[in-house]
């Protein structure tokens, strides 16, 4: 996606989600902390490259398999995260996310919990269509005008945000008593939308989240704080290992 179009998209996301919550821009309130609750660090990992990614096709609720590059990235990411102990692991129900999660959890005893609320945005009948073609014909979807509704079904940005929030609240609720690190394997736009809701100023990357990148968010005392977005250092660390 071109830089200019992403700039418009991201600005519009900020405008849309600003009205969806009264949380502060430096840390949204989620699952109010109580005495005895322990801090959590959520590791949002984007799935590896898929066939549709490679072909430039719309991929929301539709699915396509990981490419060899995507599998390799997931293996490297798993090695790069090896020193981090996870108390729990969650994944979107999409095959590409589950397959990536299995690579990341290889050799660990942490069970994988799937949640359909972690899925990517639903693009309706645009699924599997050329992303470039849709971008040219319907630029409003990339600008995320709050009044825009896809003529072919699918979700709006506020709808995507609401279910992503529901998934994150569940993760916090199920793990705040023990605290620690939680792996969450999900998707690019779903993650970016959620992060912009928390703190639009935290985004420093130019373009979509890279496949296999990690975005970290801390939950402490009932508030969420973005630590890092689109971090590819774990992939590089894994590549250096034999």
49, 72, 120, 155: the active-site residue: 120
Neighbouring-strand partners of residue 185: 45, 91
Tell me which residue of 217, 182, 185, 184 sits closest to 88, measured CA to CA.
182
Of the residues 47, 76, 187, 197, only one is catalytic, namely 47
The reported pLDDT for the residue numbered 7 is 41
CA dihedral of 186, 190, 193, 199, whole degrees rounded to 10: -10
Q: Which residues of the chain have pLDDT under 70?
A: 1-30, 128-130, 139-151, 242
Chain-centre distance for alpha carbon 38 = 23
User: Can you tell me the distance from the alpha carbon of 207 to that of 9, in angstroms, rounded to the nearest whole number?
Assistant: 10
Is residue 47 among the annotated active site residues? yes
Contact (CB, 8 A) for 145 and 12: yes
Distances (CA, A) of 132 to 5, 57, 103, 165: 12, 8, 31, 29
The β-bridge relationship of strands 40-46 and 214-220 is: antiparallel
- If you count them, how many residues does the chain have? 242
- Strand 86-91's sheet: what is its strand order? 112-114, 86-91, 180-186, 40-46, 214-220, 223-231
- What Å distances lie between residue 158 and 19, 108, 163, CA to CA? 9, 36, 9
pLDDT, position 33: 77
pLDDT, residue 122, reads 87
pLDDT value at residue 218? 98
Respond yes or no: is residue 197 known to be catalytic. Answer: no
Per DSSP, helices labelled H in the chain are: 3-18, 51-55, 68-80, 95-104, 131-137, 139-143, 157-175, 188-198, 233-239
Pair of tokens at residue 33: 């902390």
Q: What is the pLDDT of residue 234?
A: 98
80's CB contacts (< 8 A; 6+ apart) are: 233, 234, 235, 236, 237, 238, 239, 241
CA distance 219 to 174: 13
Residue with tokens 């929301």: 60
Task: Say what the pLDDT of residue 52 is.
Answer: 83
């Amino acid at each position: 996606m071109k830089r200019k179009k992403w700039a418009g998209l991201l600005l519009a996301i900020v405008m849309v989600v600003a009205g969806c919550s009264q949380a502060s821009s430096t840390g949204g309130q989620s699952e109010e902390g109580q005495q005895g609750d322990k801090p959590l660090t959520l590791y949002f990992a984007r799935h590896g490259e898929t066939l549709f990614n490679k072909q430039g096709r719309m991929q929301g609720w539709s699915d396509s398999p990981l490419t060899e590059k995507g599998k390799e990235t997931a293996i490297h990411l798993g090695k790069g995260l090896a020193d981090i102990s996870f108390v729990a692991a969650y994944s979107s129900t999409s095959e590409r996310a589950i397959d990536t999660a299995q690579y990341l959890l290889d050799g660990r005893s942490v069970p994988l919990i799937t949640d359909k609320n972690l899925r990517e945005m639903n693009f309706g009948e645009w699924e599997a269509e050329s992303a470039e073609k849709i971008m040219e014909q319907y630029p409003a979807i990339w600008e995320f005008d709050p009044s825009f509704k896809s003529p072919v079904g699918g979700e709006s940005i506020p709808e995507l945000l609401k279910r992503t929030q529901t998934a994150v609240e569940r993760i916090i609720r199920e793990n705040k008593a023990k605290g620690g690190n939680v792996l969450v394997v999900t998707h690019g736009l779903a993650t970016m939308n959620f992060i912009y809701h928390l703190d639009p100023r935290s985004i420093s990357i130019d373009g979509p989240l890279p496949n296999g990148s990690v975005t970290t968010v801390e939950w402490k005392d009932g508030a969420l704080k973005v630590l890092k977005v689109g971090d590819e250092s774990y992939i590089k660390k894994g590549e250096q290992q034999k």
